[in-house]
Amino acid sequence: MPAYTLASTVHAELDIRKSRFLARAMPVDDRDAAMRELELLRQQHPAATHVCWALLAGGQSGMSDDGEPSGTAGRPILEVLRHHELDGVLATVVRYYGGIKLGAGGLVRAYTDAIAAALKDAQRIERIAWGTLTVAVDFADEGRVRRWIEQAGHVLADSAYGSDVQLVIRLPAAEVDNARALLRDATHGKARFPDGGQ
């Protein structure tokens, strides 16, 4: 089942009973990138009452109510991300308190509605996990392998020359095994794979 991320950062702003909710959802590579974005957001909104967030990034997911009652902000934001089948996405809602308490149910609705509004017209794109494959070939086969890389639409990430030629190919992780078989065929069985998968 494909995972989706966002094509670009999306925003929305809601005013609910004098409180301002600034929602933003953005694609991120991992938790470290998300934490850097959160720090920037806090610097941009030093007077905000709360900076609540949720992150879906494979095994690096997380959330925070940032001082709101437990379960009223981070989890609702996370559920909206799950509903949209997103991964590799940081969703944040900055709240400026307006003086009127919303109650637990009102907070859940406010955070849900804010992030849902940001995602309403968001463009989703398939999230592709990238991998690398190192292939070692004789000098005579280098041109053939380079042509295959170009025709397959992959990227030659690195090359090294010694007793043979080692080419590092960047490609979708799901295609690595198939690429090994195709490279063996292209070199009449002479391609070797020093990173495993002889």
What pLDDT does residue 132 have?
Answer: 87
Domain holding 182, by residue range, is 130-187
Among 29, 18, 26, residue whose Cα is nearest residue 54: 26
Residue 82 in domain: yes
Residue 167 in domain: yes
User: What is the domain-level CATH number for residue 60?
Assistant: 3.30.230.30
Compute mean pLDDT per 10 residues along the chain, 198 residues long, and list them. 80 94 92 92 95 88 93 94 90 94 93 95 81 91 92 90 92 87 91 73
Name the phi and psi angles at 17, rounded to 5: 50, 55
**CA angle (103, 109, 115) in 5-degree steps:** 135
Would you state the structure tokens that stand for residue 15, as one six-digit string?
Answer: 């005013």
What distance in Å separates the CA atoms of residue 56 and residue 85, rounded to the nearest whole number?
10
Output the pTM of the full model. 0.68
Same domain? For 113 and 156 the reply is no
Same domain? For 165 and 115 the reply is no
